[in-house]
Amino acid sequence: MCGIYGITAVPNTNIVPWGMAGIRRLEYRGYDSAGFALQNSAELTIIRSVGDINALRDAVSGHTLVSSVGIWHTRWATHGAPSERNTHPHTGCDTRFAVVHNGTIENHDALRRVLTAAGHRFTSETDTEVVAHLLEMEYRGNLAEAMRAAIHQIEGTFALVAITADEPGVIVASRRSSPLAIGILPDARLIASDAAAMAIHTREVVHLEDYDIATLSPTSHMIVDAGAVTRMRPSQAIELEAESAEFGGFPHRMLFEINEQPAALSNSLRGRIIAREGHVRFGGLAAVEKQLSAIEDLTVVGCGTAYHAALIGAMYIEAYAGLSATAVLASEYEYRRTSSRRNSAMLAISQSGETMDTLLAIKGGKDRGILTLGIVNRVGSAIARLTDAGIYNHIGPETSVASTKAFVSQVTLLALLAIHLGRQRDLIRTDAERMLEAVLRLPDKITTALAQSDHVRAVAEQFGWMQSCLFIGRGYQYPVALEGALKLKEVSYAHAEGYSAGEMKHGPLALVDDRFPTIAIAVRDSRRKKMVANIQEIKARRGPVIAIANPDDSEIASLADATITVPEDDEFLMPVLTAIPLQLFAYWMGVSRGINVDKPRNLAKSVTTE
């Protein structure tokens, strides 16, 4: 969701191919239009197009574009439809200033009225354009000063990067809540909304803090903080996860990432389990172990799939650590009065580490003075840096919009965290040993679950007619039902709802007829009997049922219209295994409907605005 990439290099370096390659590295975030601005004359050159980077490349084919300074942007439409005039970079009344922006300017309407009254003419529907006009209005020969004056008038979140025709070689940037990092090379400075996008050129980056104003020139950069004090922000080395080979021979990233799960999970677990001692080791939590042992309650936050993992994690922590644990949607956290006692803590779950709602929830937790922890995949991401301590997933980049391997890793790491917190309290060693042995067997069991892929495909084709369906489960399988429904919606555009099976008689049963399928997760756990009763009540109303069950469960198989099996395991690990066929079901349903499963419409991989 929106990406920024900028370069200023020593004169006679042509950065245009460099910038085009850089912005491609931000494609994974999702976008609907792209553009760039180059500085090389009294006016800037602005090129913008709707569609993907290939459309942008086609828009410039036939032109000779050469420059040593430029800023690029991929836009995910929020204010105004995807159109050329709404695409960034935006300019003021003429093309002396160009700005790109990630985030949301909440008071843009009011600013637009003031600027219009002062004679400024607007050409787009975006909130960003006000910034270009503010720069134009505030400019007195120093872009950094104009940026300072502009950001003081803006409410909302932003990562802003600007250039002007009047200051050759200079890029100015500022941020609030939206990440920005400077990349350092001997004869160039880069700026990007995702440090990893610069990694092919440099591993040395400086992360900007809120309200910093950074002035970049080819061989130096200067950062002035909110209090107008010049800061030497330390540079950091980008830790890069090894890029997985693209698609690994699979037709889509989503299928590749689903099939990668046994290996990805092994990477998550590596070095963290000492089963024979009933012990879990998280290096990233070492500094806060004492605080962890004193925690009395935990709020687990996340969005989408990460929230579903949080729901399961809260159950684990209640069950095995005996703590009070509540899962809260990150976007709802500010409306909640969850505990902020001295021994309260928050745990944020995020694959990307950039989700704005989750970042804001963590900031809310910090304002309440509680310990903040994270389970994050993206090394060095905004959430990883903001939390007091945390656990990395170490599953490599997840690039398909639909989250799959992150969920499996998040749930398993939450189980390990619950065991770890439990061992600090009352969980007895032999129980922990048994549970950890089971965790170590999970990657192989996932491999067995994946072997059902062709059968799942056949079931998806059998039910290809469906427009709407329910997913039901109980206990740990209730969040999996929510996750199955989310996956199906995202990649097949079928309407789907996840429900606790216990809720059926309280309303959803009214939907059931012979054209309304239910996917029932009915594995051999302590809730199986009640799930059988739920399936029976659906069948009594002629509702088609797809059961997710364990092998050789003839009772379920005889009731259901189709059965997909997953290996049996300890009840607490079953949500990891039942998630696999639901991911495959969504994938095959989406493929059979001709949908671009890796980039479903209207969605972005990283949701970096509220």
| Minimum CB distance to ligand M6R, residue 312 (Å) | 14
| Minimum CB distance to ligand M6R, residue 403 (Å) | 4
Instruction: List C-alpha distances in Å: 36 to 161, 180, 199, 474.
Output: 11, 17, 20, 50
| Binding map of ligand M6R across residues 303-342, x = CB under 6 A, - = no contact | xxxx------------------------------------
Q: Which is nearer to ligand M6R, 3 or 304 (CB)?
A: 304
Total residues at interface with ligand M6R (CB under 6 A): 16
Instruction: List C-alpha distances in Å: 559 to 59, 548, 577.
Output: 58, 12, 22
CB-CB contact of 136 with 97 (8 Å): yes
| Minimum CB distance to ligand M6R, residue 1 (Å) | 9
| Binding map of ligand M6R across residues 432-461, x = CB under 6 A, - = no contact | ------------------------------
Q: Which is nearer to ligand M6R, 299 or 358 (CB)?
A: 358
Distance CA(181)–CA(191), nearest Å, equals 6
Q: Which is nearer to ligand M6R, 39 or 352 (CB)?
A: 352
| Minimum CB distance to ligand M6R, residue 356 (Å) | 9
According to CB under 6 A, which one of 127, 136, 490, 553 is a site residue for ligand M6R? 490
Q: Which is nearer to ligand M6R, 49 or 350 (CB)?
A: 350
Distance from chain centroid for Cα 405:
12
| Minimum CB distance to ligand M6R, residue 606 (Å) | 6
Peptide bond into 89 cis (omega under 30): yes
Q: Which is nearer to ligand M6R, 4 or 482 (CB)?
A: 482
Short-list 414, 410, 375, 379, CA closest to 261: 410
| Burial (0-12, 13-18, 19+ Cβ within 10 Å), 12 | exposed
Distance CA(218)–CA(11), nearest Å, equals 9
Q: Which is nearer to ligand M6R, 135 or 265 (CB)?
A: 265
Active site residue: 2, 405, 445, 469, which one? 2
Distance CA(556)–CA(533), nearest Å, equals 10
CB-CB contact of 472 with 534 (8 Å): yes
Q: Which stretch binds ligand M6R (CB under 6 A): 94-102, 395-403, 458-466, 589-597?
A: 395-403
Reply yes or no on whether 303 is catalytic.
Answer: no
Q: Which stretch binds ligand M6R (CB under 6 A): 1-9, 314-322, 399-407, 521-529?
A: 399-407
Residues 588-607 that bind ligand M6R (CB under 6 A): 606-607
Distance CA(269)–CA(493), nearest Å, equals 34
CB-CB contact of 548 with 573 (8 Å): no
Q: Which stretch binds ligand M6R (CB under 6 A): 34-42, 181-189, 345-353, 431-439?
A: 345-353
CB-CB contact of 530 with 501 (8 Å): yes
73 is written with which tokens? Answer: 């942007």
Distance CA(181)–CA(208), nearest Å, equals 6
| Minimum CB distance to ligand M6R, residue 71 (Å) | 25
Distance CA(608)–CA(355), nearest Å, equals 5
| Minimum CB distance to ligand M6R, residue 124 (Å) | 27
Instruction: List C-alpha distances in Å: 195 to 163, 201, 530, 537.
Output: 20, 11, 49, 53
| Minimum CB distance to ligand M6R, residue 306 (Å) | 4
Q: Which is nearer to ligand M6R, 95 or 350 (CB)?
A: 350
| Minimum CB distance to ligand M6R, residue 82 (Å) | 19
Q: Which is nearer to ligand M6R, 140 or 601 (CB)?
A: 601
Distance CA(414)–CA(432), nearest Å, equals 14
Q: Which amino acid is at 575?
A: P
- Determine the residue with CB nearest ligand M6R: 304
| Minimum CB distance to ligand M6R, residue 304 (Å) | 2
According to CB under 6 A, which one of 126, 403, 578, 608 is a site residue for ligand M6R? 403
Reply yes or no on whether 93 is catalytic.
Answer: no
Bridge pairing between strands 188-192 and 3-9: antiparallel
Q: Is 402 in the site for ligand M6R (CB under 6 A)?
A: yes
Distance CA(325)–CA(417), nearest Å, equals 13
- For the chain, give the number of residues: 610
According to CB under 6 A, which one of 7, 401, 481, 549 is a site residue for ligand M6R? 401
Residues 106-145 that bind ligand M6R (CB under 6 A): none
Residues 246-305 that bind ligand M6R (CB under 6 A): 303-305
| Binding map of ligand M6R across residues 190-229, x = CB under 6 A, - = no contact | ----------------------------------------
Q: Which stretch binds ligand M6R (CB under 6 A): 80-88, 93-101, 346-354, 461-469?
A: 346-354
Count Cβ neighbours within 10 Å for each residue of 482-512 and write b for 16 or more, e otherwise: bbbbbbbbbbbbbebbbbbbbebeeebbebb
Q: Which is nearer to ligand M6R, 386 or 486 (CB)?
A: 486
N-terminal to C-terminal alpha carbon distance within the chain: 11
CB-CB contact of 398 with 404 (8 Å): yes
CB-CB contact of 47 with 56 (8 Å): yes
| Binding map of ligand M6R across residues 350-369, x = CB under 6 A, - = no contact | xxx--x--x-----------
Bridge pairing between strands 297-302 and 324-329: parallel
Beta carbons within 8 Å of 125's beta carbon, 6+ residues apart: 79, 80, 81, 85, 86
Q: Maximum CA pair distance of the chain?
A: 79
Q: Which stretch binds ligand M6R (CB under 6 A): 337-345, 396-404, 422-430, 457-465?
A: 396-404
Residues 467-486 that bind ligand M6R (CB under 6 A): 486
Catalytic residues: 2, 605
Residues that bind ligand M6R in the complex, under the rule CB under 6 A: 303-306, 350-352, 355, 358, 401-403, 486, 490, 606-607
